[in-house]
Amino acid sequence: MKIWIEAFRLRTLPLSLACIGMGGFLAASQSKFSGMIFFLCCCTTIFLQVLSNLANDYGDTVNGADHGQRQGPLRAVQSGAISQGKMKVAILIFILLSLISGTTLLYTAFGFELKPFLFFLGLGLLSIVAAIAYTVGKKPYGYMGLGDLSVLIFFGLVGVMGSQYLFTKEFSVPLILPALSCGFFSIAVLNINNIRDIDSDRSAGKFSIPVRIGRIKATRYHWVLLMSGIFCSVIYVVINYKSPVQFLFLLSIPLLVINGRSVAKLPSEKLDPLLRQMALSTLLFVLLFGIGSLFG
């Protein structure tokens, strides 16, 4: 059980829950929050995140990105702790759990309204495909440097605006801004991971953004992601300004600065703790943003 829990990579869950939390806070600020929808959103995103982690464990081992020279923690399939066959079964189980939870969520939100139900079902199926195809298959898109774009779409736009729509049944263009904030911070987590693995990824033919542009430019790119995340939320608050309390999320800036400086200074083998720090910083940012939205 301990091996499987490690394979689930529970430290990644705060990041996946952050986008759902942002969507929930935005809905609550409009007095359209539902505890059941929020619970099912959390369950679905947790299942999808674990599915992605298991598929990544399997895919990176099969495609050679996880090997003895890699700087990060040892993966389950790579180490032989979990066989490829058992990992495939686990992936299928979490596909099923994601489908059950997601379908229940859509029925709770839309009932028998067919058009929105089918639209979000399509998004859900696309999310499952994206979670698997990132590192699994003959041409995984994560090996082509498209992981950042995928994270922006699913951890940002789809995660935030999609969950917000499930509560409110309404779409508003300015909501793109806080959705982008979550997306940029989520990419920052991926960027730390890719900077850490830059040498092993290059040798395995995994052309992530840091592999393509090099460590120095990847560090600058990291700062751009952090600043862009804050900038988008500042613009959103300015557009919807009611009270200074709405700027409460700015209290998270020192943590982001610490993260950016550490990424720039620390050697690759010491970057791993920054993944969790960035994920938790993102979750704190969302909590502060949400509190500011509710009480501002």
- pLDDT tens, 44-70? 999 999 999 999 888 877 876 555 555
CATH architecture of the domain covering 2-295: Orthogonal Bundle (1.10)
Q: H or E element: which one contains 231?
A: helix 215-239
Indicate the domain borders of the chain.
Answer: 2-295
pLDDT at 11: 85
> Over its length of 296 residues, how does the chain's per-residue pLDDT go in tens digits?
888 888 888 888 998 899 999 999 999 999 999 999 999 999 999 999 999 999 988 887 787 655 555 555 667 787 788 888 999 999 999 999 999 999 999 999 999 899 999 999 999 999 999 999 988 878 888 888 899 999 999 999 999 999 999 999 999 999 999 999 999 999 999 999 999 999 888 988 889 999 999 999 999 999 999 999 999 999 999 999 999 999 999 999 999 999 999 999 999 989 999 999 999 999 999 999 999 999 97
147 and 190 in contact (C-beta within 8 Å)? yes
pLDDT tens, position by position, 274-296? 999 999 999 999 999 999 999 97
The residue among 86, 81, 287 whose CA lies nearest residue 185 is 287
The residue among 152, 153, 133, 154 whose CA lies nearest residue 142 is 133
Q: Helix or strand or coil: residue 176?
A: helix
The answer to whether the predicted template modeling score (pTM) of the entire model surpasses 0.85 is yes
